[in-house]
Amino acid sequence: MTGTASGQEVALEPPVRPWYRVASPRDEAALIRQARSGSADAVEALVRRHWDGAHRAAFLIVHDAGAAEDIAQEAMLAAVRSIDRFDRRRPFKPWLHRIVVNRSLDWLRARARRLIDLWLATDSEGNEHALARRMGIQEIIWNCRSWWSGSDGMGNYSVCFTDRGKRRRHVNRTEAHMDHIHIGLSWEGARKRTSFWAR
């Protein structure tokens, strides 16, 4: 991945070995000033200094080492590209951490959407929700959306919406299934006695 605030192309490679030196706030501020001025060395020093923390934060969210590395690289690149907007009165690490967390959550959401789309896809013979039916899935709830066997597609989940269909402001993330996918199986599906398991 490449990029700096000044537009100069710089390769951002993950450090070969961890960077253990603890930065003083003064060192960090100097590096940020230099990175804003287009210093490739300052960008490299920032990457080395924060790589382990960024990778660890991504891995703790996505639980996939390869994806965590990609996310950490994307977050570093995003931070470098937007370093001119960084508020120098604040610490760099929490700002970068927020970028990593947001990228990690985006990755999880995309993965969840792909999985739900797979379950609810129409097969080559025109059977709607084919995989869900073959597996015995009767309900799917995720991120304030729900699907029930026999419904057309994902609709509003009642926990997240008022009777008039307006989104509630404060919703418990777990009850709304924002942090996980809820799957309800038929007895046959739970016992692996559906056509999916018979293959």
User: Tell me, what's the pLDDT at 9?
Assistant: 56
The verdict on 34 and 90 lying in the same domain is: yes
- Please tell me the distance from the alpha carbon of residue 51 to that of residue 66, in angstroms, as a whole number: 14
- Evaluate if residue 34 carries a pLDDT over 70: yes
The verdict on 57 and 99 lying in the same domain is: yes
What confidence tens digit (pLDDT) does each residue in 144-173 have? Answer: 999 999 888 899 999 999 999 999 999 999
Residue 75 lies in a domain: yes
- Evaluate if residue 122 carries a pLDDT over 70: yes
When pLDDT is cut at 50, 70 and 90, the band that residue 1 belongs to is: very low
pLDDT above 70 covers what percent of the chain?
Answer: 86
Q: 106-144 burial string, b = 16+ CB within 10 Å, else e?
A: ebbeeeeeeebeebbeeeeeeeebbebbbbbbbebbbbb
Query: Which CATH number do you get for residue 106?
Result: 1.10.1740.10
What confidence tens digit (pLDDT) does each residue in 97-107 have? Answer: 999 999 999 99
> Which structure tokens are listed for 82?
């937007």
The verdict on 82 and 126 lying in the same domain is: no
Sequence-distant (6+) residues with CB within 8 A of 196 are 131, 134, 135, 136, 189
- Please tell me the distance from the alpha carbon of residue 42 to that of residue 80, in angstroms, as a whole number: 10
User: Worst-scoring range by mean pLDDT, 6-20, 51-65, 89-103, 146-160?
Assistant: 6-20
Average pLDDT over residues 73-79: 94
Beta bridge partners of 182: 141
Residue 10 lies in a domain: no
- Please tell me the distance from the alpha carbon of residue 41 to that of residue 130, in angstroms, as a whole number: 54
Tell me which residue range forms the domain holding 68: 25-112
Residue 7 lies in a domain: no
The verdict on 72 and 130 lying in the same domain is: no
In eight-state DSSP terms, residue 147 is: E
- Please tell me the distance from the alpha carbon of residue 46 to that of residue 93, in angstroms, as a whole number: 10
When pLDDT is cut at 50, 70 and 90, the band that residue 91 belongs to is: confident
When pLDDT is cut at 50, 70 and 90, the band that residue 70 belongs to is: very high
Q: Which of 80, 112, 144 is the last residue of a domain?
A: 112
Virtual torsion, Cα 159, 165, 171, 174, nearest 10 deg = 40
pTM for the structure as a whole: 0.73
The verdict on 33 and 85 lying in the same domain is: yes
User: Worst-scoring range by mean pLDDT, 32-41, 55-64, 70-79, 119-128?
Assistant: 32-41
> Which structure tokens are listed for 159?
């926990």
Q: Into how many domains does the chain fold?
A: 2
